[in-house]
Amino acid sequence: MSVVVELTIFPLDKGASLSPYVARALNVIRASGLPHTLGPMGTCIEGEWDEVMAVVTACFEELRKDCTRINVGLRADWRAGAGGRLAAKPASVLDKLDGPGGQG
């Protein structure tokens, strides 16, 4: 009954150096205690729908403190059934690769 959400959030009014703002959002995510993984293009968070969406809103509120334009991207994959999908989803793909596994 878990959802995996990939979240991308950054201001559009602060120039091209976005990592300080992404770090502030990641601090909020870490404080939530929900399982998450940081990637090159976003952070994946797993939990129940309501708890993950509450974290998304908390990230937005954090940036709203001092930003005047904020871009948010969210992609969610909800599936009835067990959790643990941050690890299980990539593993299920790697199992099916041709030849020896690995991510290159």
- Contact residues toward a second copy (CB under 8 A) are 4, 6, 8, 12-13, 15-16, 18-20, 22-23, 26-27, 29-30, 33, 35-42, 44, 46, 49-50, 53, 56-57, 60, 64, 68-81, 85-87, 89-90, 92-98, 103-104
The SS3 assignment for 96 reads: coil
Q: How far apart are CA 33 and CA 81, in angstroms?
A: 21
Tokens of 97: 């690769």
Tokens of 27: 């601090």
Q: In whole angstroms, how close is the CB of 90 to a second copy at the nearest point?
A: 5
Q: In whole angstroms, how close is the CB of 53 to a second copy at the nearest point?
A: 6
Q: In whole angstroms, how close is the CB of 2 to a second copy at the nearest point?
A: 11
Q: How far apart are the first and last CA of the chain?
A: 32
